[in-house]
Amino acid sequence: MKTILTFVGGGDRDAIILQTALAAAIPLSARLDCLHAHVPAALAARYGHTEFASGAALHNALDRLETDANAFSGLAAENVRVFCASAGIELCDAPIDPCGVTAGFREDESNVLERLTFHAGQCDLIVMGRARQHQGLSPDTLEHLVRSCGRPILVAASAAPRTLTDTIMVCWKDARSTAGVVTAATPLLAKARRVVFVSVAKRDAGRTDALGAIARQIVGPAAEVQVIPASRRGIAATLSAAAEECGADLLVMGAYGRSLTRELFFGSRTDALLDHSDKPILLMH
């Protein structure tokens, strides 16, 4: 993981997102590629409750959205500049010292999902916020990127982390749904002081031994394993409680394993965990 795409929107959560990206970058000596997606007024209008406006009202609404978009662009650039200055990070187009953490800032004149997916596919890790933003992004941006970009996405919590690598909890379901994200997270797992593999199951039936063998193969003999009985609270609540109990700095899990149709009827376990746990979560489809 040498390049971390960090989405900044020009909002008050930029500092938390940037600090989360920095916590991932420090142990990896990675570069922060800070990207602001400028939202054209016509595109922002899709999510700005202007569907009933017409005539002069629509014109005024579009003018307001364009003014807001320009303001967010300026704030995003300023937020990155201030953060880098306070953190002692070189803000540059080409790093002089490739061994240290550096950062760059750029802006794309569109927030079309396909364009954001393109940018995401060019890096090793993406960092973004989970809360719905007010800068005009589509409300399903996170899910779309997770499903389509083929890269791990680190979703920030509501507070800036001190570190991500003191204790990492891997939410293990099975090899098909979890092996990919664990492989992607290997650079961070290798830097962790403690790694805990947690699985939720109705009964153990040899699951602890099997998971222990997998965990030791991935991170070595120091890996810890917990198989937690399923309960009426649901898997997301159970995993969230386990993360609190072990003091996890970061959760790692496979994401959106169900089809969109099944999620419509049964809900998304990924979204449920994002709702239950206020921890940084590394996701990959």
Answer whether residue 162 is part of any domain: no
Q: What is the CATH number of the domain that holds 88?
A: 3.40.50.620
Whole domain around residue 149: which residue ranges? Answer: 3-155
Residues 143 and 21 in one domain: yes
Query: What pLDDT score does 24 carry?
Result: 97
What contacts 214, CB < 8 A, 6 or more positions away? 172, 175, 197
| Closest among 264, 196, 270 to 235, alpha carbons compared | 270
Give yes or no: residues 86 and 141 share one domain: yes
pLDDT of residue 176: 87
3-state secondary structure of 143: helix
Give the C-alpha separation, 271 to 234, whole Å: 13
Distance CA 144, CA 121 (A): 13
Distances (CA, A) of 73 to 32, 91, 107: 18, 17, 8
* Domain count within the chain: 2
Q: Which pLDDT does position 54 carry in this prediction? A: 57
Report the C-alpha gap between 19 and 87 in whole angstroms. 9
- Boundary (domain end) residue, out of 106, 134, 155: 155
* 164 contacts 24 by C-beta, under 8 angstroms: yes
Last residue of a domain, which of 155, 183, 208? 155
Q: What is the pLDDT of residue 196?
A: 97
- pLDDT tens for each residue of the chain, 285 residues long: 899 999 998 988 999 999 999 999 999 999 999 999 887 656 655 555 555 455 666 566 666 767 777 888 899 999 999 999 999 999 998 766 667 899 999 998 876 788 889 999 999 999 999 865 555 567 788 888 999 999 999 999 999 999 999 999 999 998 888 999 999 999 999 999 999 999 999 888 899 999 999 999 999 999 999 999 988 888 999 999 999 999 999 999 998 865 544 443 334 788 889 999 999 999 998
Q: Are residues 204 and 81 in the same domain?
A: no
Kindly report the pTM of this predicted structure.
0.88
Burial class of 266 by CB neighbour count within 10 A (0 to 12, 13 to 18, 19+): exposed
Same-domain pairing of 92 and 213: no
Q: Rounded to an integer, what distance in angstroms lies between the CA atom of residue 111 and that of residue 93?
A: 22
Q: How far apart are CA 90 and CA 101, in angstroms?
A: 8
Please check whether residue 67 lies inside any domain of the structure.
Answer: yes
Same domain? For 42 and 136 the reply is: yes
Answer whether 136's CB lies under 8 Å from 36's CB: no
**Domain endpoint, select from 130, 155, 180:** 155
pLDDT at 93: 84
Q: Would residue 161 count as lying in a domain? A: no
146 with 178, same domain: the answer is no
Give the chain's end-to-end CA distance (angstroms, integer).
Answer: 18
